[in-house]
């Protein structure tokens, strides 16, 4: 069991790199959407570059990190199966399922963007980008606070965070409309 902490450290490292990919991929989608609003040849040049960047991020960082984080998580649960009896772990695993669904939806969007099928607005993608943030906050608080976590305050905190993120997006949009170079 002395290697348990090494496995835990590797799990955490790959969770961080997985989230890095999930934070950045919608940002690249936003840039891609905005590139399509430019005239030729800028549109095609930017689009090709963004497709390449997105493909590298997705297949070299995000997918491998997701797989490795999951493998190390399962390994940790095999070594310490009592965690599966903890109520906070059930909630955490629910958020992990949501994270996997979010990841798979990003994969679907990625595939569409690679084929130049762009059906979203940049504002929609800015809101979509906050999905990983909400899941990250929920999981970190669950893991750190475990049994001391008050579920009512936790749910209220996530709702307040969501509202603050939405207000931040609206404020950014207002500032950007006043100053297009922002």
Query: Quick check: helix, strand or coil at residue 29?
Result: helix
Residue 40 · residue 69 · CB < 8 Å: no
Does residue 107 have a known ligand-binding role?
Answer: no
How many angstroms separate the CA atoms of 57 and 66, rounded?
A: 12
Q: Known binder of ligand: residue 11?
A: yes
| Dist CA 158 CA 20 (whole Å) | 20
Three-class secondary structure of residue 181 per DSSP? coil
Give the rounded distance of the alpha carbon of 176 from its chain centre: 24
Q: d(Cα 77, Cα 93) in Å, to the nearest integer?
A: 11
Residue 159 has phi, psi (to 5 degrees) of -65, -45
Q: Distance (Å, rounded) from C-alpha 150 to C-alpha 154?
A: 6
Q: Which residues are annotated binding-site positions?
A: 11, 92
Q: Which residues are annotated binding-site positions for heme?
A: 11, 92
């Amino acid at each position: 069991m002395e290697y348990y902490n090494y496995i835990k450290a590797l799990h955490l490292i790959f969770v961080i790199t997985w989230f890095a990919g999930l934070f950045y991929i919608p940002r690249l989608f936003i840039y891609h959407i905005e590139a399509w609003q430019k005239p030729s040849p800028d549109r095609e040049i930017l689009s090709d570059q963004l497709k390449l960047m997105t493909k590298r991020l997705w297949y070299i960082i995000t997918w491998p990190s997701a797989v490795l984080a999951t493998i190390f998580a399962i390994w940790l649960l095999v070594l310490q199966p009592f965690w599966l009896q903890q109520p906070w772990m059930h909630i955490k695993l629910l958020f992990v399922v949501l994270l996997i669904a979010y990841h798979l939806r990003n994969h679907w969007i990625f595939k569409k963007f690679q084929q130049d099928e762009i059906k979203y607005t940049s504002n929609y993608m800015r809101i979509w980008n906050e999905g990983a943030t909400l899941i990250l906050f929920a999981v970190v608080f669950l893991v750190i606070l475990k049994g001391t976590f008050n579920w009512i305050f936790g749910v209220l905190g996530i709702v307040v965070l969501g509202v603050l993120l939405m207000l931040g997006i609206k404020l950014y949009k207002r500032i950007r409309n006043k100053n297009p170079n922002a």
